[in-house]
Amino acid sequence: MSLTTPAPTTTAAAPAKPAPAPRARSANKRSGVPYAFLAPALVLFAAFLAAPIVYAGWLSLRKVKVSGLGLGAKSRTEIWAGLDNYTRSLTDPEFLPSVTRVGAYGLIVVPTMLGLALLMALLLDADRTRESIGKFARISIFLPYAVPAVVASLLWGFLYLPRVSPITDLFEAVGLTAPNMLSSSGTMWAVANIAIWGGTGFNMIVIYTALRSVPTSLYESARIDGASEMMIAWKIKIPIVMPSLVMTFVFSLIATLQVFAEPMTLRPLANTISTTWTPLMKVYRDAFTRNDIYSAAATSVIIALATFILSFGFLKVVGRRAFNQED
């Protein structure tokens, strides 16, 4: 098929055109085919991804100007703001602490989650476990991923609140005081715990799937050479699943930068999570509590740029090493 060869440099206008069915003959007709196939995807991409992004960019350069008391229908006008919203976003005293917080959160969540996922994948891939409890264990580890973050946060919220938590009762039964997870030192761990609980299963499945695609002959020859299971895991399995680890790392990095649902759901339960606890919560507060979508758009653009730079920067750094066996 020749479908893989179009160079769609001028596709923007193509999808809107009605199909050139009647005039078609030979080469002319054939060149229309790929565009027609692409049309649905391009329309959806343009309408639900590109257009909102452009609109957010536009909004971030605007602001509302109120005149006088601001009462009545005609007292608000939208005006050009230039880079004002960006300057204010970056110099907001709450912005830097929220970025630092997300950094610390990422340092806890990403290594712990991926470490656990890798460990569990290796354990499940071992011959003995795979045959006995493999299926059950895989499903139970994966299951938390199927729980929506808001629901998970509500569940964990109940477990964190001393008066309704069975964990507190357990601690008391053995004569200990349960740690207060929603205190100023505990909050970070409380939020990170929910993310790790919810995310480990997904990453485990990705790594496990990569492990399963390794031909068993590799392990057999290693065993003949006298390698222990630990050696096989360390010297063969981990290097082979490196591309999967890189991929899960990038996914986790992006999820970390966008952490929102967990702290947002826990916020009303504690004094220790502010409305600007993470950058994305600041976006939410600006847009929906302060009714200032312009500042919110500017902060969103900043977050998006940071995500792009970090993800692609990371891929550039590790890319060659991680993927060299596939080149």
Q: What does the binding site for other proteins look like in residue numbers (CB under 8 A)?
A: 15-21, 24, 29, 32-33, 35-37, 39-40, 43-44, 47, 64-73, 75-76, 88, 157-158, 161-164, 183-184, 268-272, 274-276, 285, 288-293
The C-alpha angle with vertex 290 and arms to 289 and 294, in degrees rounded to 5, equals 120
3-state secondary structure of 112: helix
Residue 268 C-beta: closest distance to other proteins, Å: 5
Question: For other proteins, which is the closer residue by CB, 19 or 309?
Answer: 19
Please tell me whether residue 77 adopts helix, strand or coil conformation.
strand
Give SS3 for 76: strand
Q: At its nearest, how many Å lie between other proteins and the CB of residue 148?
A: 17
Contact assessment for residue 315 and residue 248, using Cβ atoms and an 8 Å cutoff: no
Buried b (16+ CB within 10 A) or exposed e, 127-145: eeebeeebeebbeebbebb
Q: How far is the CB of 285 from other proteins (least distance, A)?
A: 6
- Closer CB to other proteins, residue 74 or residue 316? 74
Q: What is the largest CA-CA distance in the chain?
A: 86
Indicate the helix (H) or strand (E) that contains 175. none
Q: Which is nearer to other proteins, 272 or 299 (CB)?
A: 272
C-alpha 311/C-alpha 110 separation (Å) is 14
Cβ at position 53, least distance to other proteins in Å: 17
Q: Which is nearer to other proteins, 249 or 294 (CB)?
A: 294
Nearer to other proteins, 184 or 221 (CB): 184
- Which tokens hold the place of 168? 């507190």
As measured in angstroms, the least distance from the Cβ of 102 to other proteins is: 17
Task: For residue 181, give the nearest of 170, 199, 193 by alpha carbon.
Answer: 193
Give me the least distance between CB of 107 and other proteins, in Å please: 23
Would you say 39 or 238 has its CB closer to other proteins? 39
